[in-house]
Structure 1
Amino acid sequence: MPELPEVEVVRRGLARWVTGRIIEGVEVVDPRSLRRHVPGVEDFRGRVTGARVTDVVRRGKFLWLTLEDPDHRADAPQVALMAHLGMSGQLLIEEADAPREKHLKVRLSLSAARGEDGGEPLPADLRFVDQRIFGGMFVADLEPTVDGQPGGTGASALPLIPHQAAHIARDPLDPAFSVEDFHHRLRARRTGLKRALLDQGLISGIGNIYADEALWAARFHYARPTDTMRRPDTLRIIEAATSVMARALAAGGTSFDSLYVNVNGASGYFARDLEAYGRSGLPCRRCAAEGRHTLLRRESFMNRSSCLCPYCQPRPRNARP
């Protein structure tokens, strides 16, 4: 499943290609991808057709396009076109006459536009492709954020958020993320550190890959009790998570197969730089640099696994699951 850097790569690509353009047509190839839009396909088509995209915003792994009412009514509710990528969802920018993808689900036709330099015309289609059909699209009303801050990361993000994403906490790359607030909530959880990092209601965007990477970088065991975390400890894990996700973002995300791509269909390359995740049985590079030969170890965790260095990340005596 895509994690925060992967979704942010997609958000930035969409912001570049679709902001300011009007959705002139909607083709629903597979209605199953609109199952989250309860009123149905025709309502979806009616609410989206003619709307102008004003921004592309992300909160954690949630992604939405803010839409301007086609009739410019002052009393019209502010809405967003939500895109849930699920396990295999892709949002691709294509030419209108490009061959149809095998798993194409929804096709949005965009108004004509040219690049920032006024050069070549921009591709005319925004396509939602989903092999496993766990993802989908739907229209949602926007509501004020609880803290009055922008709903998420976006060029002109307003203090509004779709109801379906309001329960998601802010992520470390969000300008409005508060380390102090996270620290207090973290200590109150009284659980293991990795379990807390994966709790999207506490901190969003961190999945199994980046949790392992951040814990390795900060030298914390995944079972470190959260109520023993001091402020410097909390700052250390947040700085580690921020650093690893920023590097992954710069590399275009982490891709292990062809299911995750950015809006142009290119895969990320950060998998080449992973230090812990997926490297069980291989030498810890930090230990090797310090003259030790320690092999990374894979341990069962929450019906999945954690990969760690037994020397750099010793298990605490008061470990919590």
Structure 2
Amino acid sequence: MPELPEVEVVRRGLVNWVRGRTITGVDVVDPRSVRRHALGPEDFAGNLEGATVLDVVRRGKFLWMPLQEDGAPRSTDAGTSGLPGVALMAHLGMSGQLLMQDGSVPDEKHLKIRLRLSPAGTMPEQLRFVDQRIFGGLFITTLVPTDDGGPGGTAEDPVPVIAEEASHIARDPLDPHFSFDTFYRRLRKRKTGLKRALLDQGLVSGIGNIYADEALWRAKLHYARPTDTLRRADAERVLAAARDVMSDALAAGGTSFDSLYVNVNGASGYFERSLNAYGREGEECRRCAAAGIRSILKREQFMNRSSYTCPVCQPRPRNGRW
């Protein structure tokens, strides 16, 4: 599943190609990829044709494109004057790809949806949604006001509305409006393990299994550390580590262990070469090795997934929780 840096890589690429362009045609090649649009493929296509893409917005791992209807002023359906009321939501799932292609390029094997866009210089005229495993999809959603009055997410032109399906998602550590005080207060009320809390998208969004392991390794904290005993300095350290590791991943173009995941132009990420914990079972801990200590990273089962830790610099707490 793509994590925050992968989705942000897609957002940054996509906005350069589609912002300000009008959707002139829609081909739903596989209706399964619009199953989240309750009114079906024909309604999906009919509502998109003639709409203009105003921006590309991300909160956590959620991605959407606010729309302006053909020839109409910006809708006030969201309850905020002058702001768009609907958006095209993209759920990438396990293998979803958003690819910009020229019309002359043959269809991809797993093409599901094709959006034809208004001409814009030498830019490709099609946005294609390709998905081998069919866990993802596109659908039209309503925009609603944010509960804190701040921007809905990361965007070129941030506005205080958010896709309804993402309204329950907390802000992510890279969001300028993220409140550490709110995060820490809610974290201390939980009686669970630290990694489980970091994966709770209602507490802090965008941190998935890979980056949780990397942040915990950088912060020298074990995933089972009880949240209700976590000191403020420890919480600040792990959030700073999460910001750093995700910023590094963004600079590298994301993390891709699966050839099915690519960014909007079709290029795989390569941050996996810089991982210090995740996937390194049986290898030496680089931090310990630099200090002249031999320590071998281990893998443990965690929530039907895996966690990778160093037994020396990330000792398991005696009162640890899952």
* TM-score bracket relative to the smaller structure: over 0.9
Equivalent in the alignment of 2:282: 281
Contact 2:224 2:316 in 1 (8 A): yes
- 295-304 vs 130-139, which deviates more? 295-304
TM-score by length of 1: 0.97
Q: How far off is 1:257 after superposition? A: 2.2
User: Is 1:228 aligned to 2:235, yes or no?
Assistant: no
| Superposition pairs of residues 49-198 of structure 1, within 5 angstroms | 49-73=49-73, 77=77, 78-114=85-121, 121-198=122-199
Aligned-pair CA distance for 1:61:
0.5
The whole-number CA distance in structure 2 between the counterparts of 1:150 and 1:281 is 44
**TM-superposition CA deviations, 1:256-295 (whole Å, max 9, x none):** 1211101110000100000000001000000000001100
Question: What is the TM-score normalised by the length of structure 2?
Answer: 0.96
Percent sequence identity over matched residues?
68
CA distance in 1, matches of 2:45, 2:76: 17
**Aligned counterparts of 1:303 and 1:112: Cα–Cα separation in 2:** 47
**Distance in 2, Cα, partners of 1:85 & 1:256:** 15
Q: Distance in 1 between matches of 2:213 and 2:101?
A: 35
Q: Is the 8 A contact 1:173 1:242 kept in 2?
A: yes
Alpha-carbon offset, residue 304 of structure 1 = 1.3
Question: Whole-Å Cα distance in 1 between the matches of residues 292 and 106 of structure 2?
Answer: 54
SS of match in other structure, 2:56: strand
Residue 55 of structure 1: SS of its match in structure 2?
Answer: coil
**1:71 Cα shift?**
3.0
Secondary structure at the aligned position of 2:144 is classed as strand
In 2, Cα distance between equivalents of 1:233 and 1:197: 13
- CA-CA distance at 1:318 after TM superposition: 1.2
Shift of 1:76: 5.8
SS at match of 1:264: coil
Runs of 4 or more consecutive aligned structure 1 residues displaced over 6 Å after TM superposition: none
CA offsets, 1:31-81, max 9 Å, x none? 000000001111111111111111100011100001011131465631000
Quote the Cα distance in structure 2 between the aligned partners of 1:57 and 1:162.
9
8 Å contact from structure 1 (residues 221, 314) kept in 2: yes
Aligned residues of 2:68 and 2:74 also touching (Cα < 8 A): no
The letter for the 2-side match of 1:300 is Q
Q: For residue 118 of structure 1, what is the aligned residue in structure 2?
A: none
Contact 1:22-1:50 within 8 A present in 2 as well: yes
Contact 1:168 1:201 in 2 (8 A): yes
Aligned to 1:201: 202
Aligned AA for 1:90?
Answer: Q
Report deviation, 1:313: 0.4
Distance, in Å, in 2 between the alignment partners of 1:220 and 1:74 is: 48
SS in 2 for 1:200: coil
Distance, in Å, in 2 between the alignment partners of 1:261 and 1:272 is: 16
User: Which residue of 1 is the match for residue 315 of structure 2?
Assistant: 314
- Match of residue 292 from structure 1: 293
Unaligned runs of 5+ in 1: 115-120
Q: How many residues align?
A: 315
Deviation at 1:151?
0.5
Counterpart amino acid of residue 113 in structure 2: V
Deviations 1:71-117 (A, max 9, x none): 31465631000000000000011111111100000000011113xxx
CA distance in 2 between partners of 1:294 and 1:157 (Å): 46
**Structure 2: runs of 5+ lacking an equivalent:** 78-84
Matched, 1:12 2:19: no
Q: Is the 8 A contact 2:20 2:54 kept in 1?
A: yes
Q: Which amino acid letter does the alignment assign opposite residue 46 of structure 2?
A: G
Distance between the aligned counterparts of 1:12 and 1:152, measured in 2?
A: 13
* Residue pair 1:69, 1:76 contacting (<8 A) in 2 also: no
C-alpha distance in structure 2 between counterparts of 1:160 and 1:235, whole Å: 28
AA paired with 1:154?
A
Contact 2:23 2:52 in 1 (8 A): yes
* Equivalence map 1:29-48=2 (5 Å): 29-48=29-48
